[in-house]
Amino acid sequence: MIAQAGGEPSRSVMVGDSDVDIRTAKDASVPSILVSFGYAREALGELVPDAVISHFDELVPSAASILGASPGIPRRC
């Protein structure tokens, strides 16, 4: 899907709220961000994402940190 959208896995991040999302990211070798406020009902503490955010305003800085970019400088997708 990343390639079909014109992106690169090395510049992608999976954002999700469930074990399926985090496992899918790991299987695709893509870093993951877990949102703690999503629909998932399972114990979130058992998941091992690259970052956890509790509000969408944390998304850009977390993704930039994971990808090694400055949050103030957008990267081409």
pTM of the entire predicted model: 0.80
Domain ranges of the chain: 9-65
Alpha carbon distances (Å) from 32 to 1, 16, 37, 72: 16, 8, 15, 20
If you average pLDDT over residues 5-9, what whole number do you get?
90
For 32, phi then psi, to 5°, come to -130, 150
Instruction: Say how many C-beta atoms besides its own lie within 10 A of residue 27's C-beta.
Output: 8
pLDDT, residue 72, reads 56
Q: Is 63 exposed, middle or buried (0-12, 13-18, 19+ CB in 10 A)?
A: buried
If you average pLDDT over residues 2-23, what whole number do you get?
91
Q: Class for domain 9-65, per CATH?
A: alpha beta
Q: What is the DSSP letter of 6?
A: T
- Residues 25-71 have pLDDT tens digits of 999 999 999 998 887 766 666 778 999 999 999 999 999 999 997 66
